[in-house]
Every structure is written in C-alpha cells, then in structure tokens.
Chains A and B, each alone.
Chain A
Amino acid sequence: MANLLSSGFTKVAQNKRYLFWFWVLNLTLAEFGTAAFRRGTHAILDRSLYADGLVKSFDLGVLIELLSKPEFGTLKSMTYPSLYFGFVFFLATALFLPGIFTGYASTYRLPREEFFRACGRNLWRFIRIMIIAGVIMGVLAALLFAANDAIAKKAEESTNEKLPFELQMIGLAVIFLIMATLRIWFDLAEVDTVLNDQRAVRKSIAAALRHTFRNLVRLLASYVVVTVIAGIVLLAGLWIWMKFIAPENVLGAFVVAQITLFLLLIPRFWQRGIAVLYWQDRMLVPFGQSAIMEPSPVPVSAPVDQPAAEAPPLATTPPIEP
C-alpha cells in the first residue's frame, strides 16, 4: 500500500500543472457563483457603519440582519448560483479527467493537443460511466442513508443518549467505506476506458469490478488514507485561518483559504494517480491482446545536438499545458 501511495503521489507531483489549472478553474467558477452574493452585500454593507461588526470581529447578528433584509434577496438566490457553479466544476472535472489519466499514464510531458484529444475522445464514454455510477452510487447511498437514519431513529428509544449519535457515526463510516469502494471501482473503470481506449464502457466497468474486489483491502486502504489526509488538510487550513489570521485581514484570509483549497485538490488527484498506477500494474492487457493507443511522442524541445533554427515546427512552438 505504501508503494501505491508514494507512486500515486509521484504522479501528482510530476503533473502539478493539472492541479494549478483545476484550482484556477475552481476559483474562476466560484467567482461567478458568488457574484450575486457580492452584489447584494456591496449594496447594503459598503455605506453602513453597522457593517464594521463584520470586520473587526465576526458579529453573527450583523450577518443575520443582512440575510434578513429584503434588499439582499433570498438566501436561495445567493446559494443556488454557488451550487450551479459547483456543478459546473464537477462537469468540467468530468470533461478534463480523461486528459489527466492520459497524462498520468504518459512517460513524457503530455502536449496540449493530446490532452484535449483524450478529453474529446472519451467525453461520451465518461458520460455513460457517470450515469451508471450515478445510478448505482445514488441508489445505494439513498438506501444506506435511509437505513442509517432508521437505525438512529430506533436507537432514540434507548435511554442511552449517545447511542443514536454513535450508531449514526458508525453508519456513516460504513457508508463512507462502501462509497469509497464504489469510487475505486468507477475510478478504475474510467482509467481503463481511457487508457485502454475502450468504447464499450461496460467491459471496463466489469473489469474494474473484478479488480476492485480482487485487491479491495490494498486499494481501499490507500483511498482511505488519502481521504483522511484531505480531512487533516481541511482542518489544519481552518485552524490556521482562525488562529493566525486577524479578523480584519481579508487578504490573509483569502490567501489561506486558497492555499487550503489548492491543497485539498491534491488528495483526489492522488487517488486518481493510484488508480492509474494500479491499472498500469495490474490491469494493463499484455501487448497484442488489445489495441492500446500509445500516444505518439511529441518532441517538447529541440534536440540538443541540432541547431534551434532547424527544429521541426512543433518544437519551435512549445505546447501549452492545459
């Protein structure tokens, strides 16, 4: 597992540019998503001394009064854009993920053209996988949460006050493990679809299912460790924010928030790196049995022993990374 974790992380580290672009995408979409909120707050806060209660400390009363003002609009009108743009980020992730898998599997720095070629080539395959995954994960999650709630409700009859909470926490842990298992399954299916250029996604899903359960402990342990690290990153970021950033230091808060969010992107990419690594190690079909499309190498710089002026056209225009 340690090897899987370290090698998976190496893939992320070697492709840091993906993290950067996803952070930029995340931030940009969130800026759009929060525009209505900003507009609403500017109109009310900017010219009132009462708003100082939000700067020098965080007076919840000022926030409640702000939210209750008709001029501010409904809370729904503020939160829905955030949800929509959050959804757009998820769609964008789905769109670009094939390129990332290809990049992780590649032994060289993947040029932009190939990155987007992989994205385009696998778009509908990914949509199909996402629909299947959505149905399976959605139905199972609904059943599991319903069962968890039912257990907790039953436990409320007990005179042990903590029992419902404890059972619910145990239930959530179980749900997390089950959902993480499903995530591994569909991560492997996605990787197989992309790297195996598998048109029939059902075959990738079936193969991924076999491998998921064949190596469940190892894979699940890796995913759980990475998720725990993500939790620690989030908590550490919030702690630093609260502990070291003065209430009126808006820029400091922004920087800490963005660093935290950037770092939070790493764990999921790390898991995908693990999936790619596992695929390469265990699921890669021996040469000749499958039509694996090995991306043709594209020179990223002019050969050392060749004058730059004689370099081929591609080499004179270094690929722009996504």
Chain B
Amino acid sequence: MRTLWRSTAILAVFSIGLIALRPRQVAIAAPQAPVPAKPASTPSADSSLAIPSTTAAINASAPMSQRVVHYEIDAKYDASEHMVDATEILTYHNLTGQAVDHFPFHLYQNAFQPNSTWVREAKIQGSRDIGYEKWDPKEFGSEEIKSIEVVGQGDATANLQYITPDDSNKDDKTVVDLQLSKPIPIGAFVQFKIAFQTKFPETQARSGWKRDFLLGGQWFPKVGVWWNGAWNCHQYHATTEFFADFGVYDVKLTVPQYEVIGASGIQVSSVNNADATKTVTYHGDDIHDFAWTVSPRYKVKESTYQAQMGPVQLRFLMQPAHWNQVERHEQITRETLDHFEKWYGPYPYKTLTVVDPEPDSAAGGMEYPTFITGDSSWLLPNGLHFIELVVEHEFGHQYWYGMVATNEFEDAWLDEGINSYTEVKVMDDILGKDISILNIAGIHFGEREEQRFSYIRVADRDPMAQKAYDYYNFNSYGGTTYGKTASVLLTLEGIVGQETMAKAMHTYFVKYRFTHPTKEDFLKTIEEVSGKDLRWYFNQAIYGSQVVDYEVLNANSFPVNWYEDKDKEDRNKKDKDDAVYQSYVSVHRKGDFIMPMDVEITFDNGEKVREHWDGQSRWTRFSYQKKAKVVSAEIDPDHTIHIDRDNFNNSLIAEPKSKPTNKLSTYWLFITQWLGQTMAWWAV
C-alpha cells in the first residue's frame, strides 16, 4: 500500500495531534527490571496456566520484562524440503486491561508468495531482495496452521480467518484472526495448541534456505501485540520488520545429526535420535522472538565475554571459507559490547550467537534476540570494514529492538534509525571518525558520511514519523529511517551537546528497556534530559520533511577608498598594507528547514570572526571594515549539522583554488589514458 506524499503529509499532521491526545500506553508504565512475571491476584481461565518466571537465560535473579507470552514449540526440520512440521503451545497472559475475544496471529512466511502484499509492494517500491522475480513454486514460502485448539474451548480451527488490516489485498495471508467462543477475562491466561507447517523460501528478507543452509526467522505463528487499546498485528510489508511481546521461549528443534545448529537463547540439551536426527532444546527469557539456523558446514568458535550482569557466551558460526575472519567478528562483537554496556546499559542475556550466513544468500545482516547474522566474504581486506559494520549494527539491535522493543511496523526509525545513530558513535570510537567504513590506500569513508548520503538522496520525500509501509519507496524508507534518523540525531548532538545526548540515550534505554515505547517517549526523554524545548527541531526533522540547505552566497572585499587613484596606491606598499577594506559575506537559506547556525569568516591577516544567525529570514549579510580582506566564509564551522543537503555550498573561498580539481583531474587523466592504451592493446 502506497500513500501519496500529500496524503502522507496530512497523515503526519494528524498523527501529531493524535499522539498528543492519546493515552499513554500500557507498556510505558512497566517498571524497570526486574519485574514480577505474574501478578499475585490474577484471575485465570485455567488456574494451572502461567508464564514461567525462569531466569536461566539471563544474568538476573528475576524476570526483567513483563512477560506476556510463553511459546513452547516442538519442530522437526526436513532439510530436503526446507520445511518444518511443528506443534506450538502458546500461553498468553491477558494484560490488555479488558476482556479479549479474538487473537490475531502473524504468519509471516506467507509473504513469500506471488500475490502477497510483500511481493506486490516489492515490485512497486523496490526491495532489498528481488529473488522473487525468479521464483518457481517450489521456492515459495508458506506457513499454514493445520489445527488450533483453545484450551478450555476446544478446537477452533474453523474460526480462523485471514484478515488484511493494512490493505485490501485478499490474497495476502500474513495475518490470521482467531475468534474465541468465550472472551478471555482481564488478567487471565489462555493457552493455544497449534499444529503448523512452515515451508521456507529460498532466502528472502533474511529468512529461508540457500543450498544446505537455513535461517529460520519469523517461522512460527506469532500472536500480535495489544498496544494502545487495540491489537497491533500488521501484515508483512516489503519494508516492514516486526513487533512482538516479551516472554519465554522453550523450543525443541529436531534436525539431521550432521547439521550444526545455532539459535536464540541458551541451549538446554541435545539428544541424538535413532533416525539420524537430533533434538536440540533451547530456552529464552525476556525475549520477543526466536530464530535459528542450521548448516552442515559451520565452523564454530565459542568464547566468554564478561558483561556487567554476568558472563555472556559468545558463539560464532562461521562459513569455512571465512574462518580467517572469525577474529574480526569476535573483536568487533566484544568492542561493541564494551561500548553499549558503558554508554547505554548492561547486556543481560547469557548468550549471543553471531552467524556468518551462507554466501550469496539474502540472510545477511539481521537481528533476532540474542542472535544476529553478519555479512562477509572470503575476500575482504582489513581496510574495508563491512564485517565490523554489519556485526556492530546487528548487535546494536539487541538494545534498539531486542530490549527497547519499539513497533517496527509503525516507527521503524526508532529501532533502525536510533541503531544507525549509535552505530556511527560506536564505529567512530572504535575505528576512527572518517575511516570507519573504508580506509585503504589513503582513500577513506566514514559511517556518518554514509548515513548522510543515504538521507540526502531522498531528503524531501518522507518524514521519519510515519508507518514503515507508507514510504514512497524502498530507498526512501531506507534513507529516511536509517540515514535521516542517524543524521538528525547527530545534528541534535550539536544542539543539546554531546554529553547531554549521551545521557539522554542512556536514560532512554534504562527507562524503556523491555517495554514498547513510542516516538514521543524518546523525544520527551531528550527534552527532559536536556531541559530544552526542542519541538521546533522535532517538528521539522522528525514530523516534517523539510530540508536543510544553507549556502554562502558571496564573500568579497574591496578597498574603502576604491575610488582613489589605484596607481598611487600601488606605488606605495606601505599604503597598501594599511589599506582598509569593506567586506561583505552573504548567507542564504535555500531550504525550508529553519535552524540557527554559526558562520565563521576568515580574513587574510589570520583573524576569524564567528557570527550567529537564527536562520529565520531567507538571507542575511555580515559586513566588516578591516585592514584585511575576507579569505573565506563557512557556515557551521564545527560541522555539527549533518542534515545539510549540500556541503559544498556551506563555504566560499574568495579567491578560487584549483588544487582539488587538479588532483581529481590527474586521477581521471590517468584512467582515461590507461583506458585508451588498453583498448589499443587488444584491438590493434
């Protein structure tokens, strides 16, 4: 479903009003960890039901989240068919504050069929993966509930009905709704017994198989989230990710014995079966999803990281051809953990599995609780930091998604964008500011530049604050949610100060971990910590699509006595040295984003003058009378504004200098000459 820009703008304005009016969500009120898993006086439809208060998978003595779900899955994987047959027992705790008579479930794997909303949107808007263009039916994905029983209410399979809450695509089967015969009372538990079959597609959207590898993500029927007084269970869109409640996962995976397996949570047991399979059991606490992977060829490295709350078992599942890169994976994982623990808060889980997925698969660069996939190649020089970039980013999601579990359907910038911002901070600190992506042979490229470029390509398309599936296209979604958010928050640092911003990020994490905060929770935290009213900035940068573009229009000087005899002036050097110049510097606001800024004017006697401009008018002019001529003028001399669309026009040199052009031209000349020689070599 695509919304036109104008509709989007109207929607954004309305959403500002709605946000201001709506009641605070239930999750916000959740106390900080640890919290009791179950209220003592909870009424229950079946008094024997409960969500376990286990802590085996976390370094804490009590649950850290308000646990809503308990999934017990027993799955058997057919490696030849890339298929799972499973039973799922879902225990749900009704903390909605009202009786609930229907439950929507995500069936994400149904997105990978030709008529799904995911594929339709991908064809219109573009997508990260375009493998669906070449699909044949055996490569489709599917997820089918064979039967569902509501404990105490009997078989309810006939009550299942596919719904499309986001569009009118009747062929989309990514959400199914279950109508109960009796509503579940407030505070009660309900248990669903589900038999389902999932067929994975050839890797698509970081899930599925490639050769003999499998990444099992979004593979089981997952209940929606009761949020803001209603079920929040969106269809799977080409640009969206996920949203789920915290709880406990107990998952048994039966796979061929030759498979090397990794999964979310801790491994509880592994038992070899008589039929050449093995059943590996995992347990996860205070997580909201469960992913797993198998490949017969993984090489495994395990080590321990001493985190603030206790030891974390690091497990690296590497492709054999990438084994020489395992140290790079481990080093960046450890350094990232160091930074996140120091800057934002402790990592509470006992495990972290880092998967180096199958080459050429669409499985690289994905986050699941305590489980991430990197993206590598056997031919990656040390100066090219793609491994570090991906592992850092996906680990960051353990905080911004894993623990601070925002709604990825509706506020993608809260996880991807904030994570991209912290990625810039962490990568800059670990690898260096302008070299965090590339540093080879004097050529360098930094993470903050990369984020800015992804934004400025789509600068005037979409605001950050809109549903992930309402962006103009995939590039706009990516450029805005990742690049714009990172650049907007880096610019915010310049407004509130780096230390204040760091404190605000720490506060936000500690306050909202294991909850589902909204964008206003984040923005208000920054305002509270900084003590500043930042609405002027948020309204333009987050709720609006205004574009920053300031330019130095001109910078010139002329002698105040210009009308006098020039020859006479030239004759006497002393007179010339004493000449007084009138200098003008004009600055122009080209864009529609208004923000104050500094302008630095440099004179040829070395003097620098800083001016402050509120940026309200379209242009302003600074004038000086000095015994010096202006050499250059520069907007934002401290380079704190990262959302300016054009960095070249932020400064102006009075006397042009051609060295940069000459250097580039030398390179281009070399390439052109070499090209001519090569052509002549083979053709004649």
Could you tell me which A residues sit within 8 Å of B by CB distance?
A: 26-27, 29-31, 33-34, 37-38, 41-42, 44-52, 54-55, 57-66, 68-69, 78, 82-83, 85-90, 93-94, 97, 126, 130, 133-134, 137, 156-157, 159-162, 165, 179, 183, 190, 234, 242, 247-248, 250, 253-254, 257, 260-261, 264-265, 268
Contact = CB atoms under 8 A, between A and B. Distances in A.
B666 A254 contact: yes
B500 interface: no
Contacts of B321: 160-162
Interface in B647-664: 647-653, 656-664
B380 interface: no
Most chain A CB inside 10 Å of its own CB: which residue of B443, B449, B673, B676: B673
A247 to B, nearest CB: 6
B647 A250 contact: no
Contact of A61 (B445, B634, B652, B657): B445
A58 B442 contact: yes
Nearest to A65: B647
Contact of A60 (B359, B445, B658, B665): B445
B680 A42 contact: no
20 contacts: A26-B673, A26-B676, A46-B660, A48-B649, A48-B652, A48-B653, A49-B651, A50-B648, A58-B442, A59-B444, A61-B450, A64-B449, A69-B648, A82-B668, A82-B672, A90-B683, A93-B680, A97-B684, A130-B683, A159-B211
A54 B676 contact: no
A191 to B, nearest CB: 12
Interface residues of B, number: 63
A146 to B, nearest CB: 18
A222 to B, nearest CB: 15
A50 B647 contact: yes
Contacts of B211: 157, 159
B653 A261 contact: no
B682 A42 contact: no
Contacts of A88: 676
A41 B661 CA distance: 6
Given A47-B653, A161-B319, A247-B442, A52 B675 contact: no
Given A34-B669, A45-B661, A250-B659, A61 B453 contact: yes
B648 A66 contact: yes
A62 B676 CA distance: 27
Given A61-B449, A126-B684, 16 more contacts: A37-B665, A49-B632, A51-B648, A55-B659, A57-B444, A59-B444, A59-B445, A61-B445, A64-B449, A66-B648, A86-B676, A134-B683, A161-B319, A242-B441, A248-B663, A268-B680
B648 A65 contact: yes
Interface SS, A side: helix
B677 interface: yes
Nearest to B654: A47
Contacts of B668: 34, 37-38, 78, 82
B319 A26 contact: no
Interface string B49-62: 00000000000000
Nearest to B670: A257
B21 interface: no
B126 interface: no
Contacts of A133: 683-684
Contacts of B646: 65, 69
B643 to A, nearest CB: 14
B671 interface: yes
B446 interface: yes
Given A38-B665, A250-B663, A264-B677, A48 B684 contact: no
Contacts of A242: 441-442
Contacts of A64: 449, 453
B376 to A, nearest CB: 10
A94 B680 CA distance: 8
A264 B444 CA distance: 28
Interface in B515-535: none
Contacts of A34: 665, 668-669, 672
A132 to B, nearest CB: 12
A318 B647 CA distance: 58
Given A48-B651, A50-B647, A157-B211, A60 B666 contact: no
B664 A89 contact: no
Nearest to A160: B321
B648 A46 contact: no
B373 to A, nearest CB: 16
B624 interface: no
B664 A85 contact: no
B81 interface: no
B68 interface: no
Nearest to B675: A86
B562 interface: no
A179 B658 CA distance: 43
Contacts of B673: 26-27, 30, 261
A20 B376 CA distance: 46
A257 B671 CA distance: 10
A126 B449 CA distance: 52
B548 interface: no
Contact of A49 (B319, B653, B665, B667): B653
Contact of B648 (A48, A93, A268): A48
A261 B674 contact: yes
A65 B453 contact: yes
A57 B440 CA distance: 11
Contacts of A38: 661, 665, 668
B684 to A, nearest CB: 4
B660 A90 contact: no
Interface string B425-453: 00000000010001001111110011011
Given A41-B660, A48-B648, A162-B321, A30 B666 contact: no
A155 B668 CA distance: 36
A134 B679 CA distance: 12
A57 B442 contact: yes
Interface string B442-472: 1111100110110011000000000000000
B681 interface: yes
A159 B297 contact: yes
Interface in B300-336: 319-322
B599 to A, nearest CB: 12
B575 interface: no
Most chain B CB inside 10 Å of its own CB: which residue of A30, A97, A126: A30
Contact of A30 (B359, B450, B672, B679): B672
Most chain B CB inside 10 Å of its own CB: which residue of A48, A58, A134, A261: A48
